[in-house]
Amino acid sequence: MLRVLTLATLFPDATRPNFGVFVERQTLGLAALDDVEVRVVAPIGLPPFPLSLHPGYRPLARLPLHEDWKGLSVDRPRFLNLPATHGRFHADALVRCLTPHLDGLRETFRFDVLDAEFFFPDGPAAVALGRRYGVPVSIKARGADIHHWGHAPATAKQVRAAGRDADGLLAVSQSMAADIAAAGIDRPVRVHRTGIDRSRFGTVDRVKAKARLGVASPLVVSLGALIARKGHGIVLEAVAALPGVTLWIVGGGPDQAALAGRIAELGVGDRVRLCGALPHDSLPDLLAAADVMALASSSEGLANAWVEALASGTPIVIPDAGAAREVVTRPAAGRIVARNAAAFSQGIAAVLSQPADPAATRATVDGYSWERNALELRDHLTALVGQKG
């Protein structure tokens, strides 16, 4: 029996059900294997009192310290998040928080390996804790953990050291593995792609989904947090130049007011909708109803929105960021375009003008599955334990 301790600061909770849902799904798949036992530690960073009583933090402070989350045993210890320090002390604070917690946990769950699901601060903390308990450490890179933390002055050195000292490294795509090397971590990296829940994505009829959602015109969906990096404003400008095309922007975040203002300025409120954040369970209908999923991210690892759209039979229009060229491998998958409104407008128009072939689009992601994801992760972690022994 392989006993895995999954360390994930990126993990859903009752206040943020979509936060790290891909980590949750991966962990559920791993835990479902007969020869694996998993415990999850999902630390929560809180600032010092009285800032921890701020409305933005109060719901997090009220979360239980331990709970059964969809069948997973999840601990949620608190670590000190010092504002305005640019993450410099996050990893050290995480180690201080987790050391007594894991000392106690080891009495009942003697884990064989530490599986860190985000490169920072999870990775440096996991390396320190792995040394303490004499177990191997794996760190997975997903995107911003390398693109931001791996280059930020306050944290880049910690990221490089963790990458050098971990027993194994994973990346969500080949391009992400290259980004790890570009961040100064020169060592082998195993590509470990995300999965797709095929019981949900790809099972919804497009005509019926459009009818349920009241969609009559061609629909473009831009799906992701409302932050500048996701580029929703670019997609908005692109669709504004396409008469008769509807756009739904799905996500929550600080750019909502600015996007609402721009919709009003462009006079497209009759065909552009800010949908807010939607539960992940709502996405199969939404993506099936869409004719295009367009996302103008400046950086990505391998966006789940991409592969879930393709699995739904919906082509994507995206910039040449992250694993774009590993996903858009043929015309049925969509278009890779320059990251500006004119190029996005042309790319969306090109996809809308071609005959829809949902089966061909779905086939572009045939190699992605959560079952394969779980087996590959088990084999990777098992090999690390064998090498350590």
Give me the DSSP letters along 82-102.
-TTSTTTTHHHHHHHHHHHHH
How many angstroms separate the CA atoms of 370 and 193, rounded? 9
Quick check: is 292 in a domain? Answer: yes
Q: Are residues 129 and 97 in the same domain?
A: yes
Quick check: is 346 in a domain? Answer: yes
Q: Are residues 156 and 223 in the same domain?
A: no
Q: Are residues 104 and 236 in the same domain?
A: no
Quick check: is 36 in a domain? Answer: yes
Distances in Å between the alpha carbon of 269 and those of 24, 163, 214, 236, 287?
36, 47, 16, 11, 21
Q: Are residues 79 and 152 in the same domain?
A: yes
pLDDT at 290 over 90: yes
Q: Are residues 271 and 384 in the same domain?
A: no
Q: 306 near 317, Cβ under 8 Å?
A: no
CATH number, domain containing residue 106: 3.40.50.2000
Look at phi and psi of residue 5 and say left if phi exceeds 0, alpha if psi is from -120 to 50, else beta: beta
59 backbone dihedrals φ, ψ, rounded to 5°: -60, -35
pLDDT at 147: 92
User: What mean pLDDT do residues 336-347 have?
Assistant: 98
Paired with 39 in beta bridges are 5
Q: Are residues 299 and 314 in the same domain?
A: yes
Q: Are residues 183 and 261 in the same domain?
A: no
Q: Are residues 156 and 11 in the same domain?
A: yes
Quick check: is 114 in a domain? Answer: yes
pLDDT at 305 over 90: yes
Q: 140 near 118, Cβ under 8 Å?
A: yes
User: What mean pLDDT do residues 123-150 have?
Assistant: 96
User: What mean pLDDT do residues 239-253 have?
Assistant: 96
Q: Are residues 228 and 300 in the same domain?
A: yes
pLDDT at 40: 98
pLDDT at 389 over 90: no
Q: Are residues 191 and 241 in the same domain?
A: no
Quick check: is 332 in a domain? Answer: yes
Quick check: is 64 in a domain? Answer: yes
pLDDT at 356: 84
Number of domains observed in the structure of the chain: 2
Tens digit of each residue's pLDDT (9 = 90 or more) over 45-77: 999 877 666 778 889 999 999 999 999 999 999
User: What mean pLDDT do residues 373-377 have?
Assistant: 97
| Sign (positive or negative) of CA dihedral 124, 128, 130, 131 | positive
pLDDT at 52: 67
- Identify the three-state secondary structure at position 7: strand
Q: Are residues 150 and 90 in the same domain?
A: yes
Count of positions (residues) in the chain: 389
Quick check: is 200 in a domain? Answer: no
User: What mean pLDDT do residues 301-310 have?
Assistant: 92
DSSP 125-184: HHHHHHHHHT--EEEEE-SHHHHTTTTSTTTHHHHHHHHHHSSEEEESSHHHHHHHHHTT
Q: Are residues 131 and 154 in the same domain?
A: yes
Quick check: is 112 in a domain? Answer: yes
Query: 323: domain range?
Result: 206-363
User: What mean pLDDT do residues 181-187 have?
Assistant: 95
